[in-house]
């Protein structure tokens, strides 16, 4: 296990380098001149050139990338062109709000999604199965921004039960976490159902039943545990998408998190902040996939990681 873990950590280094190249090039392809945005539309050309000189925007793009990576390895993500604040400080200031929101979504969506999928598989072909899959399909079909806006319209504007934005109280988490978690719940419900149904057809499940084991023992000790391999893979990808998916949710509900910071920085062409956030989102995807791979060995000891 330890050898596998070290090998996977080392594999993330070239992967993150490749990602950094794509992120850097993508940011510099965004239309517009950040130096002009900082100086203002009425600024003289020499003022714009001075800003380009200050932030190194007049250097060749390869030189800019090398300079950025050298600073990044030292823990320096640069400074915001908009506020002249270190990017690490901006991200650290916004990160708690986003992590709270992600935690609120993770707290209920995966548990409810897996529960619906498992119950649907156990009750395969019955009314509960059809109702559960209808809920899952509805959750997959409804766009996140539409769910958020409908939630605000119904529960905030018309009924006045919940706040329309911010995370100032526990009520403020309900609508944003529902918007973020609904898609995850629906995806996991469908995958849990299909994985459970496939596992229930395996020979060892029939053997366990033939030995006279209780149905609850067959379902949860044999079928459910072995069906989790596929579910954990999807769960890891979905949780990884929560952090980057906060962009939409934070915009709809006016939450001052990393997602909102990203949209504001893109509109201002704040290269350093956008690069820092995208690199952070990519890193958490890589780390979550690593955790998922390690969980395989916990769920099924027959899987040899070394």
Give the domain CATH number at 240: 1.10.3720.10
Q: For 112-136, what is each residue's pLDDT tens digit? A: 888 888 888 878 878 887 888 887 8
The answer to whether position 163 is within a domain reads yes
The answer to whether position 283 is within a domain reads yes
> Would you place residue 272 in the very low, low, confident or very high pLDDT band (cuts 50, 70, 90)?
confident
167: burial class by Cβ within 10 Å (0-12, 13-18, 19+)? buried
User: Domain range for residue 278?
Assistant: 98-299
The answer to whether position 159 is within a domain reads yes
Domain total for the chain?
1
The answer to whether position 89 is within a domain reads no
The answer to whether position 3 is within a domain reads no
Nearest to 275 by CA among 260, 262, 256, 258: 262
The answer to whether position 15 is within a domain reads no
Angle CA 152–153–154, to nearest 5: 95
- Whether 190 and 129 have beta carbons less than 8 Å apart is answered as no
Please give the pLDDT value at position 225: 67
The answer to whether position 151 is within a domain reads yes
Q: Which of 7-16, 97-106, 196-205 shows the lowest mean pLDDT across its residues?
A: 196-205
Q: Is the pLDDT of residue 214 over 60?
A: yes
The answer to whether position 74 is within a domain reads no
The two three-digit tokens of residue 286, written as one number = 């890589």
């Amino acid at each position: 296990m330890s050898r596998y873990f070290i090998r996977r950590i080392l594999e993330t280094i070239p992967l993150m380098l490749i990602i950094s190249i794509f992120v850097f090039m993508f940011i510099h392809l965004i239309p517009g001149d950040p130096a002009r945005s900082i100086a203002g539309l009425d600024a003289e050309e020499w003022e714009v050139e001075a800003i380009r000189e200050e932030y190194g925007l007049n250097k060749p793009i390869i030189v800019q990338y090398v300079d950025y990576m050298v600073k990044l390895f030292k823990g320096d993500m640069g400074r915001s062109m908009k506020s002249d604040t270190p990017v690490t400080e901006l991200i650290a200031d916004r990160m708690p709000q986003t992590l709270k929101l992600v935690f609120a979504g993770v707290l209920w969506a995966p548990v409810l999604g897996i529960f619906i999928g498992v119950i649907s598989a156990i009750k395969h072909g019955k009314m509960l199965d059809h109702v559960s899959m209808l809920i899952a399909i509805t959750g997959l079909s409804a766009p996140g921004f539409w769910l958020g806006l409908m939630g605000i319209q119904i529960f905030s504007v018309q009924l006045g039960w919940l706040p329309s934005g911010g995370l100032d109280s526990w009520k403020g988490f309900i609508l944003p976490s529902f918007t973020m978690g609904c898609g995850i719940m629906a995806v996991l419900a469908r995958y849990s159902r299909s994985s459970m149904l496939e596992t229930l057809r395996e020979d060892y499940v029939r053997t366990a039943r033939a030995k006279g084991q209780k149905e609850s023992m067959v379902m949860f000790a044999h079928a459910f545990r072995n069906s989790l391999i596929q579910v954990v893979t999807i769960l890891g990808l979905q949780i990884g998408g929560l952090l980057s998916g906060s962009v939409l949710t934070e915009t709809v509900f006016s939450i001052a998190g990393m997602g909102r910071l990203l949209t504001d920085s893109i509109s201002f062409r704040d290269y350093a902040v956008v690069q820092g956030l995208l690199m952070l989102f990519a890193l958490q995807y890589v780390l979550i996939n690593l955790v998922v791979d390690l969980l395989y060995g916990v769920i099924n000891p027959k899987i040899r990681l070394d």
